[in-house]
Amino acid sequence: MAQKFDVCIRGDGMVGRTLALLLARQRLRVGLVSHATQATDHHKDDVRAYSLNSASRDLLSSLRCWPDALHATPVQHMRVWGDDGGFTHFESPTPEGLTWIVDVPVLEAQLAEAVRYQAEITPLTAPEPAALTVVCEGRASATRAELGVNFEVLPYQQHAVAARVRCSTPHRQQALQWFHHGAQGLEILALLPLGGAHGDTASLVWSLPPERTKDMLALSADAFGIELEHASNGVLGQIALTSERAMWPLQLACADRWTGNFADGSAWALAGDAAHNIHPLAGLGLNLGLADVAELANVLKAREAKDYWRSVGDRYFMRRYERARKADMVPTWLACDGLQRLFAHPNPGVQALRNWGMNGFNSLATVKAWAMHQAMG
């Protein structure tokens, strides 16, 4: 019996919905399986915001899912402070911005609306047979475990605390980050601008040692705001908590296989957090997931030109996708993990070296321009 779907996508988060829209644009029949809320989300309000680069913006804009200016705030300046006098400043070379801080609930709603009006996409409550199954279930993917894929996890001794805050000083389109060595270990604080170019709200992502995380979550809202003001050196003035606080453990992880075949011969592929996790310090997480599905869609689009006789699950396409994404991911993994480990090292000599390096980097205009180009996608 002929299969009803060309592609079945397990997971209807932002990565899964984006892939569904990309494949529907190719006139492929797509089944999109809804998945349960992630176990790490214990809170009623979604406080997440992501830093998205120009490649992600172009991709989402092509699907007419890019949020308006109030919910996709352009970053004109990025300022990073080290833990002993180090400092680096990036300034956007264009009025458009270095990156954009996107309000996750708004982006999710726009993707959901686009999916609802796409005739080639069928919502599912359970997986159905297809030539290709793409697993977009997140870091705790059940399908990945069922497939026996080895997901090598390296836990960081840190948890992320996320929230929304309001500041007495407008953010002026600045993304701010501080590295600090507290009594319990490395702390990384990021305040990302929200609410448009003239906003005074920010998304907080605070990477903390486990015990310090417990202490911060136990504080009252007012006391938490005072701690934030101290940790951010008062750069944004008084800070008031405006949401609940979310928390999740941080890890570096990667699947050893991203593609394969079920017992019946149909193909499967991993994408997004089901395939890889990195530390949020560089703000790359969702960008990497969107790059995964953009690559997979581009690989499958090649069928239209010369490989129309191949199935969408043909091993030729799966190998191309896995090779391309792993080659692109390795430098990113190494850079993010290396930066985290560099700042986590407690040795005073290493501390002096990393802060000297930040100041030296800040004075090298050509190197900074190259780094900005890479980060902007």
Exposed/middle/buried for residue 306 (C-beta within 10 Å: 0-12, 13-18, 19+): exposed
CATH superfamily of 5-375: FAD/NAD(P)-binding domain (3.50.50.60)
Other beta carbons within 10 Å of 116:
9
CA distance 76 to 91: 6
pTM: 0.88
CA gyration radius for the chain? 21
H or E stretch including 275?
Answer: none
Cβ pair 30, 120 in contact under 8 A: yes
| Predicted confidence pLDDT, tens digits, the chain (377 residues) | 467 999 999 999 999 999 999 999 999 999 999 976 543 443 457 899 999 999 999 999 999 999 999 999 999 999 999 877 888 888 888 888 899 999 999 999 999 999 999 999 999 999 999 999 999 999 999 999 999 999 989 888 899 999 999 999 999 999 999 998 888 888 999 999 999 999 999 999 999 999 999 999 999 999 999 999 999 999 999 999 999 999 999 988 899 999 999 999 999 999 999 999 988 766 678 999 999 999 999 999 988 777 777 899 999 999 999 999 999 887 776 677 666 666 666 767 766 766 767 677 566 566 556 555 555 55
Cα(first)–Cα(last) distance of the chain, in Å? Answer: 44
Other beta carbons within 10 Å of 14:
25
Q: Where are the domains of the chain?
A: 5-375
Joined tokens for residue 239:
């800070």
